Structure 1
Amino acid sequence: MDRYISDTETDDQEQPLLLSRQDDKVERAPACCSSRYGLSLLSCYGFFVAYALRVNLSVAMVDMLNNTDASGNTSKSVCPAHSSPARPKHNHTVSTTSPARPKHNHTASVYDWDSETQGWILGSFFYGYILTQIPGGYLARKYGAKWLLGLGILVTVVFTLLTPMAADLGAGYLIAVRVLEGIGEGVTFPAMHAMWAFWAPPMERSRLLTIAYTGAQLGTVVALPLSAQICFYLDWTWVFYIFGIVGIVWFILWALLVSNTPSTHPRITEQERLYITSSLNKELTLSGDHIPWGSILTSMPLWAIVVAHFSYNWTFYTLLTLLPTYMSDVLGFSIKENGALSALPYIGCALLAVLGGQLADYLRENCFYRTVVVRKAFSLVGMIGPAVFIVAAGYTGCNYILAVAFLSISSSLGGIVASGFNINHLDIAPSYAGILLGITNSFATIPGMVGPVIARALTKNNTIEEWQTVFYISAGINLFGAVFYTVFGQGVVQPWAVHNPHSHGN
C-alpha cells in the first residue's frame, strides 16, 4: 500500500515512526550536535532578540514618563507602600526615603504623555507587525526563509537603535519607529514556520519548535528585569542601545551558520540530511507557485487555529505590554523591582513550553496518542488555566504576593499551547505552513494593536475594579478560543495541502 508520509490520526496509531513501509525506514539521526537542533538553538536566540526588542519599551516607558517621585514608585499607585522581598531590609521604614536611581540618571529626557498616548505607543508596534505576516509566509516559501527572517530582525534592530532619537522628536515619531519595527519583525514567525517545513521531522516537531519559540519567553524574561536595571543604573536610552547590539551579534551568526534547507547546508551529515528529507519528502508539495488560496481560506481546521491564536494572544499581549504598568500604578513597585517581577510570569512560560514539547512528542510517538488529541489537550490546559488565574489575580487586592503568584501561574500555563494550536499549521499543511502562520498571526496581532489601547482606556483611574474588567475580558476571550479549537481543530494533513492525496480517516 502506497502511503504518503502524513502525521494523520490513522498513521499515528498504526505507525508511530516516520515511514509505514519497512523498506523505506531511515535511521534516526542523533540529536546531539545535529544541524537541526543547532538551527533550533540559533532560532531561539533570534526570537530572544525579537521579543527583547519588542518588550523593552514596556519597562522603559515607566522611566520615560514625567510622573515618578524620587523613589521610583509612581506617585499615584493604588496600593500603599510596602516592604517587598525585592527591597533591602533597611528600606522598610519609609520606602520613599532612598533614591531609586543614581543622580546622573536625570540626564535622560522625560515626557508628558497621558495614558491614552501611552496606549497608542505600546500598541503601535503591532500596526506594522500585521502588515508583513501573510507576505512573509509567501515570500519565505517562494524565496527561502533564511534572509527574510534575518533581515526582518535586523530592520527591527536598526529602528530600536533610533528609538531615543524618535522619542525626543515627539510621540508621533516614536509611534512611527515602532510601526517600522513591527514591519520588520512581522516576517519572523511565518518565515520560521516555512523553514521548519524543511527541517523538522514530523515526530520531532514539538521538540524542535518549542525550543526555537521559547526564545520569545526568554527574551521577555531577560529584557524586563535587565531593562529595569539599565534604567536604574544608566538611563532608559541605554535599554535600546544595549539590546540593539545583542541583535546585531545574532544577525552575524545567523548569516554565517544557517541554510534554508538540509540539502543546501554545507556542514550537515549525510545521515541527518537523509533522515530529514526522507521523513518529509511526501508531505511537502513545492512544485510550481500554485497556492490553493480558496481551499486555505475555507478550511475550518485553519479557522480553528485562527480563533485560538487570536484568543490566546489577547491575554498574552495584555500582560506583555501592560504588566509593568500594573506593577507600578496598582501594586506600587519601584522601577527596579518592576522589571524583575514582570519577568517572573515568563520564566514558567518558557519552562513549561520546553517540557510540554518533550511530552507532546513522547505521547505521539511512544504512547500512540493521535496528533489531534495532543494538540487539543495542550491547548485546553494552556488557555483555560491562564483565564482562571488572571481573573483570580484581579481579586487579590493589594496582596502583592498573591497577585504576582497568580499572574505568574497564568502566563506559565500559557506556555503549554506551544505544543497545541501554535504548531498545528505544520500538522495540517506543512507545505504551506508559513502562509498559514501568516494568516493566523495576522488575526492574532489584532489583540496587540487594540488590547493596550482598550485596557488603558478602561483603566484611566488605575483602580483595582478597572483592572478586574480588563482581566475578565481577557479570560472570556481565552475561554471562547479554547472551546472553538476543541470543536473544530484537526491533526491531519488536509487534502488540499498535498499534491496527490490519498484518503485517510479523520
Structure 2
Amino acid sequence: MVKTIHQERRNVMATMTELSPIEGENKYSQDMQVDKKFIPSKVPGLCSTRYGLAFTLHFCNLSLVTQNIVMYITMVAMVNSTDHQSQLNSSTEGLPIDSFGGPNNTPKSLPARAPVYDWSPQVQGIIFSSLSYGMILTLGLSGYLAGRIGTKRVFGFSLFVSSLLTLCTPLAVDFGLTTLIVTRVVHGLSQGSGFGGQFAVWEKWSLPHERSRLCTIALSGMALGSFTALLTGGFITQAIGWPFAFYIFGGIGCVFCLLWFVLVYDDPASHPWISTSEKEYIVSSLDQQVSSFKEPLPIKAIFRSLPFWSICICSFGHNWLLITIVVYTPTYISSVHNVNIRDNGILSAFPFLCAWAIGIMGGWLADFLLSKNFRLITVRKIATVLGNLPASAFVVALPYLNSNYITTVTFLTLSCVLSQFCQSGVYINSLDIAPRYSSFLIGLSRQLSYIASILVPMITGFFLSQDPEFGWKNTFFLLFGVNLFGLIFYIIFGEADIQDWAKERKLTRL
C-alpha cells in the first residue's frame, strides 16, 4: 500500500511538471532573467562553495594550459641550432633559434645536460599538431560523458593523465620521434577530455544571474596558464634545461589533481561541506531548468539548429585568433624585433596577464548588465562582438605599426584582453539554449572549433615559407576574415532562448 501511494505521488508530480512547463517563469523568464525577490539575502557570495569550485577549476585550467603550450617554448632549446637563419624564415612553429642571442652564444646559453635534436621545421610542425589531433577526438565525447557520469571523474582523470604524460615527455623524446608523437596524441586525448568535460559541472552549480562570472572565473585560468608558461618556460629552459620545464609543469598538475578530487563534487546535494542555505538556494533555483531524466540526445535537432551552428562557427573564428596569438606571438616578436628567449618570454607573457584580469571582469560585467534588465542574447552578443572584432583588428594592424617592440606588445595586449570577453559570450551560450545538454553541446562546439588548431599552423607555415614579410600580413588578414565571418553568422542566428528540442518532454502518465 505504501509503495502504491508513493508511486501515485511520483506520477502526479511528473504530470504536474509536464502540464505546467512555464511554472518557473515566475523565477526566470524564457531568457533566464532573474527576479531579485527570489534571491535570498543571506546566501554567501564570494566566500561560498560554488565560487570555491570556480577558483579550483581556474587553477586546474591553468595547469592544463601550461602542459599544453610548454612544448612551444622548449622547442627552441630542443632543436639543433645549426642553420638557424633558415629556420627563422621557414619554421612554422615555435621560437626562432637565434632568439637566444646569436649563433655564437646559442650553445653556451643552454645547459650541457639538455639533449639537442636535429628536427626540421616540418618535423616540429608534426610534433606540435599531434597534440591537436588527439584533442579533437575527445572534446565532444568528453562533454557527453561528463553529463552522464559527472565532471569530477572525467576532468580529474584527464588532468591526472595529462600531468603524467607531461612528466614522461622527456623520456618519450629519448625513445625517438615516433614515441614522442604517439605520446603527444595520447596527451591530446587527455587534454581534450579536460577542456571539453569541465562544463557539465555548471549545469548543477551555476545560477542564471551568476553564470557568466562563475564560468569566466574558471575559464580565465587558461589565460593565466598561458602567461605562466610563457613567462617561466624560458627561464626554466635557459637556467636548468628544457626537460625540467616538463617536470615542473607536470608535477604542479599532479598537485592540482589531488586538490580537485578532494574539493570538487558534481552537485550541491552530494557536497559534504556546503552550507544548508546555499545548497537549498542552488537546488531550488535550478529545479526548473535542468531535469534529472536521462533522455537520448536529440542529435538530428541539434545538427539542424542554426543557433547551435552559430556558436560553432563563431567559436571557430575566435579560436583561429587565439591559436595564432598563443602559438605565433613568440615567433613574431623574435622575427621582427630579434629579442632573446628570456625577454621574449616576458614580452609574450604580458598580454596574457592582462587578459586574465579582464576575463574575470568580463563575467561580472555581463551579469551586471543582466541585473539591469538587458536581454540575455543582447549581453551574449555584445560580449562576443567585443571579443572578436577589435581583437582581430589590432592583430591585422601589427605589420603596419611594428616600429618598436612596445607598440607590438601593446597591440598584442589589447587583442588578448578584448578576446577574453568571448568567455561570457559565445563560449557559454550553449548553457542558455540547452541547459539539459549543455555539456555535450559545449564540448562538440569546441571540438568543431578546434579544427582551427590544425589549419592555422599549416596555412601560416605556408604563408611564412613563401615570404616572411608578406606572410605575416597574409596570416593576419586571413585571421580577420575568418573571425569576421563567424561573428556576422553569430549575430544573425545566435539566440539565448531555450530551444524546443531542449525542453522537457511531455509525459502522459496519469
Normalised by the length of structure 2, the TM-score is 0.88
Asked whether 1:145 is paired with 2:159, we answer no
Letter paired with 2:63: V
Q: Paired residue for 1:169?
A: 175
Give the conservation status (yes or no) of the 8 Å contact 2:66–2:229.
Answer: yes
Q: Deviations over 1:27-60 (max 9, x none)?
A: 5621132110010000001100010101111111
Give the conservation status (yes or no) of the 8 Å contact 1:8–1:491.
Answer: no
Aligned residue among 379, 392, 395 for 1:387:
392
CA distance 1:103–1:346, shift in 2 (3 Å): closer
Give the conservation status (yes or no) of the 8 Å contact 1:116–1:453.
Answer: no
Give the conservation status (yes or no) of the 8 Å contact 1:224–1:340.
Answer: yes
Asked whether 1:3 is paired with 2:22, we answer yes
Mapped to 2, the partners of 1:319 and 1:8 lie a distance apart of: 42
Give the conservation status (yes or no) of the 8 Å contact 1:49–1:246.
Answer: yes
Asked whether 1:47 is paired with 2:52, we answer no
Alignment of 1:436-455 (within 5 A): 436-455=441-460
Aligned residue among 193, 215, 223 for 2:221:
215
The structure with the largest helix share of the pair is 2
Q: Secondary structure at the match of 2:209?
A: helix
Mapped to 1, the partners of 2:386 and 2:377 lie a distance apart of: 14
Letter paired with 1:61: M
Asked whether 1:477 is paired with 2:495, we answer no
Give the conservation status (yes or no) of the 8 Å contact 2:31–2:498.
Answer: no
Q: Paired residue for 1:64?
A: 78
**Alpha-carbon shift at residue 392 of structure 1 (Å):** 0.5
Letter paired with 2:120: D
Q: Paired residue for 2:472?
A: 467
Mapped to 1, the partners of 2:40 and 2:27 lie a distance apart of: 19
Give the conservation status (yes or no) of the 8 Å contact 2:27–2:35.
Answer: no
Mapped to 1, the partners of 2:42 and 2:191 lie a distance apart of: 34
Mapped to 2, the partners of 1:274 and 1:74 lie a distance apart of: 64
Normalised by the length of structure 1, the TM-score is 0.88
Asked whether 1:422 is paired with 2:436, we answer no
Moved more, 316-325 or 152-161: 316-325
Give the conservation status (yes or no) of the 8 Å contact 2:398–2:411.
Answer: yes
**Alpha-carbon shift at residue 100 of structure 1 (Å):** 7.1
**Alpha-carbon shift at residue 375 of structure 1 (Å):** 0.4
Aligned residue among 333, 340, 349 for 1:334:
340
Give the conservation status (yes or no) of the 8 Å contact 1:47–1:216.
Answer: yes
Mapped to 2, the partners of 1:253 and 1:161 lie a distance apart of: 18
Mapped to 2, the partners of 1:37 and 1:270 lie a distance apart of: 16
Query: Identity of aligned pairs, percent?
Result: 35
Mapped to 1, the partners of 2:131 and 2:76 lie a distance apart of: 17
Asked whether 1:17 is paired with 2:35, we answer yes
Q: Deviations over 1:157-206 (max 9, x none)?
A: 11111111222333332222111111001122332211111100110001
Mapped to 2, the partners of 1:8 and 1:273 lie a distance apart of: 17
**Alpha-carbon shift at residue 124 of structure 1 (Å):** 1.6
CA distance 1:172–1:274, shift in 2 (3 Å): same
**Alpha-carbon shift at residue 461 of structure 1 (Å):** 6.1
Q: Secondary structure at the match of 2:450?
A: helix
- Give me the CA root mean square deviation: 2.4
Q: Paired residue for 1:254?
A: 260
Q: Paired residue for 1:303?
A: 309
Mapped to 2, the partners of 1:496 and 1:199 lie a distance apart of: 23
Give the conservation status (yes or no) of the 8 Å contact 1:385–1:413.
Answer: yes
CA distance 1:418–1:4, shift in 2 (3 Å): farther
Give the conservation status (yes or no) of the 8 Å contact 2:30–2:497.
Answer: no
**Alpha-carbon shift at residue 77 of structure 1 (Å):** 5.6
**Which consecutive segments of 4 or more residues in structure 1 shift more than 4 A?**
6-13, 24-28, 73-78, 95-104
**Alpha-carbon shift at residue 488 of structure 1 (Å):** 0.5
Mapped to 2, the partners of 1:447 and 1:186 lie a distance apart of: 14
Letter paired with 2:34: P
Mapped to 1, the partners of 2:399 and 2:130 lie a distance apart of: 26
Mapped to 1, the partners of 2:284 and 2:341 lie a distance apart of: 53
Moved more, 335-344 or 169-178: 169-178
Mapped to 1, the partners of 2:23 and 2:77 lie a distance apart of: 57
Give the conservation status (yes or no) of the 8 Å contact 2:81–2:106.
Answer: no
Moved more, 300-309 or 101-110: 101-110
Structure 1 stretches of 5 or more lacking a match?
79-94, 502-506
Q: Deviations over 1:94-124 (max 9, x none)?
A: x759957866613211222222222222222
Q: Paired residue for 1:396?
A: 401
Q: Paired residue for 1:291?
A: 297
Structure 2 stretches of 5 or more lacking a match?
1-19, 90-100
Mapped to 2, the partners of 1:40 and 1:323 lie a distance apart of: 29
Mapped to 2, the partners of 1:10 and 1:236 lie a distance apart of: 54
Mapped to 2, the partners of 1:364 and 1:199 lie a distance apart of: 19
CA distance 1:288–1:390, shift in 2 (3 Å): same
Alignment of 1:108-257 (within 5 A): 108-257=114-263
CA distance 1:274–1:324, shift in 2 (3 Å): same
Give the conservation status (yes or no) of the 8 Å contact 1:394–1:467.
Answer: yes
Q: Deviations over 1:200-255 (max 9, x none)?
A: 01100011010011000000011111000001111111110000010000011111
